[in-house]
A and B are shown apart, each in its own frame.
Chain A
Amino acid sequence: MEYFGYKGLLASMLRDVGVEPGDFIRITRGDGFTIEGVLMPRYSGGDEPIIVLKLRNGYNVGVRIRGGETIEKAGRVERGEPGAPVPLVEELEVGDKRVFVLGCGGTVASRVDYETGAVKPYLSPEELALSVPEMFKYTSIDVEQLFAVLSEDMKPWMWHKIVEGVARAISMGYDGVVVTHGTDTMSYTAAALSFAFHRGLPVPIAMTGSQRSSDRPSSDAAFNLVSATLVASKAPFAEVAVVMHGESGDTYALVHRGVRVRKMHSSRRDAFQSVNARPLARVWPREGRIEMLEEKFRVRGSELLQVDNGFDEKVALIKHFPGPISEVIDTLVDRGFHGIVVEGTGFGHVSSDAIDSIRRAVESGIPVVAATQTVFGRVNLNVYSTGRKMLEVGVIPVEDMLAEVAYVKLSWVLARTRDMGEVRSLMLSNLAGEISGRHDVKLYPRWDV
């Protein structure tokens, strides 16, 4: 039996006394020691018979119940009705552009209920205006909360929904779309949007998120949101991009192409980096300035909206490892997967004893794509004999495409064709900037020591 996170005897004890979180309670120990505080729900700490109280001084503490204590209700704390939130600025200036913000999870525009720990997204432009008024400096804003999903729970069918939402906004004439998203899988969704809109995109789609949740004074959420809004409303390009902190400080953000970006750090604000490509632009949200870093881009307003939506759920992304990789491939084939991307070693190799498994996969009509686990650099299966054998059995080496992007692309391709020849041809064509033929010498970040 569980009672607001309390278990066992403690749960029945609290229930018997008739106290609930929010009640003021008094615990008296056998030796006369008493302590009073607001009963808090128990969300962590396991099965220990410990009651969590919020004392009058604001601290939470845990009091162990050993038997012999008495628990009494000593009142109820009336939580005042939330009044009208105080705006951060006295007057809101609103720019002349129109931007649509599509909420797809993450903690970028949300606040936390400290009693339950639940994250509540900001649902209205009014709420956003109160908490991030700087966004409106450049543009008016409309908001739709598509879903509040944890980053790790994002699925290919949700990409489909996001594409629909973004397409709807664009067709309604917005000057740009901001997609808020959890950061862990943001780059997958960015790639999905890139392929879905590769045929025609008239305005920028700026994805953003936060590495520090927006309930903290030090959150990067507002900075990223303002940067993304600036890109969506004013950028000269019409591309799918990820807009996040460019360095640890709150100075500039970087705009990364949706098919070239990877989260390279688990916690830093500047976790997102362009791989095998330069960032598209640098953005100073405070000054309202956008500096282009790439000369070639799809120009805003030069294309008509053309959507090519739909993703195959049954695609696997696996990594080569020294153990029995062939068993993993066999299992995927046996479980009816439609395609496999392998992050191979170095040039894209898998061990030679897996060649037979790959052959079986390709012969069963399951394309096997080789990317590299080195993250940076290009796949090349011509240099060593294992590579040449992989080519012989039909592996598709996807040049300098990121493994995650190859995975999303394969999912998108397989939703259009299962023909091995067409799959190969689409995978090897550069549709959205995911493949480039040339890496100059400086295109690789290194230690500045």
Chain B
Amino acid sequence: MSETKIDYESLGLKVGLEIHQQLDVGRKLFCKCPAILEEGESVSITRYLRPTRSELGDVDPAALFEWRRGRFYEYQSPIKSSCLVEADEEPPHGVNHDALAVAIAVAMTLNSHVFDEIHVMRKVVIDGSNTSGFQRTALIAVGGWLEVNGRRIPIETICLEEDAARKVGEEGAKVVYRLDRLGIPLIEIATAPVIGSPEEARDVALAIGRFLRLTGRVKRGLGTIRQDLNVSIRGGAKTEIKGVQRLELIPKVVHYEVLRQLNLLKVRDELKRRGLREEDITLDPVELTGLLRESKSRVLRRALDSGGVILGLKLPRMKGLLGFEVAPGKRFGSEIADYVRFWSGAGGLIHSDELPGYGISFEELQAIYKALRASPESDAFIIVADDRGRALKALASAVERVKAAFKGVPEETRAANEDGTTRYMRPRPGAARMYPETDIPPVNVTEDLLREAEKIKPEPLNVKLERLTLKHGLSRELALEALSDPRLDLIEKLIEKHHEKIPASVIASIFIVTLRGLKGKGVDVEAIPDERIEELAEAIARGVVAKEAAETILEEAAKNPEKSVDSIIETLGLKTVTEEEAIKIIDETIKANMEEVKAKGHKAAGLIMGRVMEKLRGKMDGRKVSELVKKRLEHHLHPSPEKR
């Protein structure tokens, strides 16, 4: 696929963002459990979720499908971080007051309209990630905007909701979830679908994330913020993409989705060009089991050995279309396969555009064409090897998906992959499946609550910038970097705390230079607890270590987050040395290199400095060492008269 420049504007690209950010208010949204993830002791509970019928008597087809498939869930209920509420064994308690105040504060800052009474709703979810079968969510405010790159991005809704349980495994029909994450308060901010380019999508996500961190009341680290995107182009469809974990991935995800939609439109046009109509695609499965019984193909063998069958389906005049690439590494055939996997549970689907292959020989291929009465020149086919019921279901789903291709881009919810591509997740839910949570009375947004929220409202960025530069003397450049740092609140706290002993620039550099440098080297800096950084600043302030030791200490802290900075200093021998100790080391080094010192004279300073720093790095300020080296060199080269 060529990386040609795409004119997103002329394609009518529209991206909307949904940012989900965990709040850091100590406790969960609807119970008194601490909002922590925990690997400790847990109790296992096995549950099934039943599809419920809406008022109109219909059942969510995806939920029904999962149920018929015998899906069940094992919930691990950790004793410290989950209770009967998460286990769906006790009704939810009232809404966490602090979380509500933070959400209102965020809404107020974004100029949104906060509702006067908050109603908690149940949003039906089908994947078992909520023990109740629904997610509890409340709309806090509508409207408002956020300025990004000089443009006002309108906010549509701000919701307060509970996080889902953490998926920790899957085994056949069983999915294993851990309940520690269930119920952690999340704020969800949804923008209007007005974002016009992949880069702008990233910038808006970045800006919202940064803005939320300004409250000082949000959680940090991997998995605490998640981005969902909705992407559409003119003539395409609105695709919901769930679970983009890294900001850097957003432009790629948007770009690939645009490509996917463009290419699906091309597939549609090509189908038309070939004069095909939906009615031409029919479900006429042909039994190929006997024909392929002796096949060497491992995929087919596996199915046959476990008593399965092989069924084939001709797709008239579709040769080449299944192999057509719609996104990097994703062919139209893989779109069909993803869809089939979800709706039939069948593992694999093989299509003619990837054959010969999968151990299917040329002769077998010809035989299949013949059995399907298909032309190798113009027709395509798909084959499925599985138990008969599943295989039939798989072909029926494949027909459904191919038929949808005549309309272009189907409305879908897709999940983001690590490489920026996406995979079919489920059909887009129709009208919101939302019911009132009758167990929680509506919350009146009182004047008191509004006043409380007013106090939490994050300071505008320019006020912070001014304080960091004017009051604390940070360069504008460093200050701006600090403002976008995920640990801004800690930077501010430490600068205030140590302003008499450590220059603000030193504190800021720990985050902006040292931590980011380590991250660049692949160190897991997210693992370093705030506590360690606080201890490090304390140690620098007390003169126990030199600021140069920061990198070594933090690298160790990332590896051993439980270890205190004092003990890291101890084990790594990073304690600052006294001037006498330093001079002793310098003198020893000079003596050991006396020949070169005599030969080079003062020019040997560089060499000595290098050798000395090997021993003193992180234990004494570099400038101080350099000063001492010069002095001692002078002393050895020209001993003072009185000593003579």
Interface residues of A (CB under 8 A from B): 33, 35, 44-45, 48, 50, 52, 55, 57-64, 79-80, 82-86, 88-89, 111, 113-115, 117, 131, 212, 215-219, 222-223, 248-251, 266-269
Contact = CB atoms under 8 A, between A and B. Distances in A.
Given A249-B45, A267-B89, A59 B119 contact: yes
Contacts of B53: 85-86, 111, 131
B359 interface: no
A268 B84 contact: yes
Interface in B131-162: 131-134, 137-139, 142-143, 157, 159
B459 interface: no
B517 to A, nearest CB: 44
Given A57-B432, A88-B67, A216 B118 contact: no
Interface string B586-628: 0000000000000000000000000000000000000000000
Nearest to B70: A286
B444 A218 contact: no
Contacts of A249: 44-47
Contact of A217 (B49, B87, B438): B49
B116 A63 contact: yes
B441 A114 contact: no
A216 B157 contact: no
B50 A267 contact: no
B579 interface: no
Interface string B51-71: 111011111000110011000
Nearest to A46: B444
A224 to B, nearest CB: 12
11 contacts: A50-B116, A58-B123, A61-B119, A61-B139, A85-B53, A111-B52, A114-B436, A217-B51, A217-B63, A218-B50, A219-B50
A55 B117 contact: no
A217 B124 CA distance: 8
A249 B76 CA distance: 11
A33 B438 CA distance: 29
A366 B314 CA distance: 87
Contact of B84 (A52, A115, A222, A267): A267
Contacts of A80: 56
B117 A52 contact: yes
Contacts of A86: 53, 57-59, 64
Contacts of B126: 217
B91 interface: yes
B194 interface: no
Contacts of A84: 57
Contact of A33 (B87, B113, B431): B113
Contacts of A212: 88
B362 interface: no
Interface residues of B, number: 57
Contacts, number: 143
A82 B53 CA distance: 11
Given A215-B52, A216-B132, A50 B117 contact: yes
Contact of B88 (A55, A61, A218): A218
A322 to B, nearest CB: 30
Nearest to A62: B117
Contacts of A44: 441-442
Contacts of A216: 52, 132-134
Contact of A218 (B57, B131, B143, B434): B131
Contacts of B8: none
Nearest to B45: A249
B121 A60 contact: yes
Contacts of A223: 48
B400 to A, nearest CB: 17
B441 A218 contact: no
A223 B433 CA distance: 24
B358 interface: no
Contact of A88 (B59, B159, B432): B59
Contacts of B89: 248, 267-269
B333 to A, nearest CB: 29
A64 B48 CA distance: 41
Nearest to A44: B441
Given A48-B444, A218-B132, A267-B84, A82 B56 contact: yes
Given A48-B117, A60-B119, A83-B58, 8 more contacts: A33-B113, A50-B116, A50-B444, A52-B117, A88-B64, A115-B55, A216-B134, A217-B51
Nearest to B116: A64
B90 interface: yes
